[in-house]
Amino acid sequence: MKIKVKVTLKNGVLDPQGKAIQQTLNGMNFSNVEEVRQGKFFEININENDETKAKSQVEDMCKKLLANLVIEDYQII
Amino acid sequence: MKIKVKVTLKNGVLDPQGKAIQQTLNGMNFSNVEEVRQGKFFEININENDETKAKSQVEDMCKKLLANLVIEDYQII
C-alpha cells in the first residue's frame, strides 16, 4: 500500500529556499505573497496490507531517515 | 490565507533520489519498501481573503515557477 508523508521545517527554523521563492514570486507580479515555506513530500510503496502496521513502519522510517527531528516535523497522510 | 501545494514527478519520470532513499531503507531493516518517490511541498501565505482567488493565483504560480510541467504535476490542497 501507498503511504504519503509530508516533512516540513519546524516553525522558527529559517527557510532560505522558501524566502528565495517568495522574493522571486514578489518580482513576478505576485506582490501579495507574504511567506513561502518549502518542505518535502514522500510517497512510499510498502508491501504491507495492514494500514496501521504500514503507518507505524513509515513513522519509524521518518524518525530514522526521512526527517531531521531537530529542525523538521513529519506528518503521515 | 495559507495555501498548500504538492509537486510530484509525473508517472514514468525517473526519480534517482527516491530510488536512493528506497535502497537505504531496504538496508535498514525495512525490506518491504518497494518504491519511494520524492516530491516537494509548499506552504504559501498569500494576502487574499477570497479562497477561490487565492487558489487561482497559486495555480498560476505553479505553472510559472513552482512546477516544471514537462516532468512534474502539481496539486493544490
Instruction: Express each pLDDT in A18-31 by its tens digit.
Output: 999 999 999 999 99
User: Using CB atoms, which residue from B32, B38, B41 is nearest to A8?
Assistant: B41
CATH number at residue B20: 3.30.1280.10
| ipTM topping 0.95 | no
Residues of the domain holding A71 = 2-76
The reported pLDDT for the residue numbered A1 is: 93
Region B1-28: mean pLDDT is: 96
State the pLDDT confidence band at B18, using cuts at 50, 70 and 90.
very high
- Angle in degrees, CA A51, A56, A59, rounded to 5: 125
Alpha-carbon distance of B39 to B14, in angstroms, equals 12
For an interface test with B, give the residue of A7, A22, A28, A30 to mutate (most B CBs within 10 A): A30
Question: Residue B45 CB: number of other CB atoms within 10 A?
Answer: 15
Tell me how many domains chain A contains.
1
Residues (pLDDT < 50) of chain A are none
